[in-house]
């Protein structure tokens, strides 16, 4: 592959990483937004935490593996339960189910996703600088 093709491959792989991490951040944001929600009906199940997955696929035009956001899976861990007999979402025993979302874990995951996003952005910026330097050399 030519040098221009290498630049294109680098940019495309980093762009796939940006899209995947942006999707991951959307899922994490939804988890955080629903962390303290309750069911709409008494004794019902509240919001269930979602877990993003990633997959790798071959981009035949680039002859390179790229990352994509895979299926969004439900976290099957137990809900948090609090005894709140006056809550409209309480079951007959006075217990309320709260989402299985731990805000500390979500914030840690968000920071990790942000760092991965920034790393891919840095790759794109570095590639753009290399392209510009190549053009400058060719102009001289």
Domain count of the chain?
A: 1
70: Cβ contacts below 8 Å, ≥ 6 apart:
52, 53, 54, 55
Query: Mind listing the pLDDT tens digit of every residue in the chain (140 residues)?
Result: 555 678 888 899 999 999 999 999 999 999 999 999 999 999 999 999 999 999 999 988 888 889 999 999 999 999 999 999 999 999 999 999 999 999 999 999 999 999 999 999 999 999 999 999 999 999 98
Range of the domain at 33: 3-139
Provide the 8-state DSSP code for 86.
Answer: T
Residues 32-57, buried b or exposed e (16+ Cβ, 10 A)? eebbeebbeeeeeebbbbbbbeeeee
Q: At 97, is the secondary structure helix, strand, or coil? A: strand
Which segments of the chain does DSSP mark as H helices, in order? 3-33, 103-139
What's residue 4's pLDDT? 62
What's residue 2's pLDDT? 57
| Paired strand residues for 74 | 50
């Amino acid at each position: 592959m030519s040098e221009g093709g290498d630049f294109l491959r680098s940019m495309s792989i980093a762009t796939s990483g940006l899209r995947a991490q942006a999707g991951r951040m959307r899922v994490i944001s939804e988890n955080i937004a629903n962390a303290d929600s309750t069911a709409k009906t008494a004794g019902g199940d509240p919001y269930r935490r979602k877990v993003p997955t990633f997959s790798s696929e071959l981009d035949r035009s680039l002859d390179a593996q790229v990352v994509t956001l895979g299926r969004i899976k439900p976290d099957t861990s137990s809900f948090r339960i609090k005894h709140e007999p006056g809550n409209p979402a309480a079951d007959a025993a006075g217990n309320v189910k709260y989402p299985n979302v731990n805000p500390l874990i979500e914030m840690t995951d968000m920071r990790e996703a942000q760092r991965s996003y920034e790393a891919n952005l840095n790759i794109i910026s570095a590639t753009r600088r290399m392209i510009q330097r190549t053009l400058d050399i060719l102009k001289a």
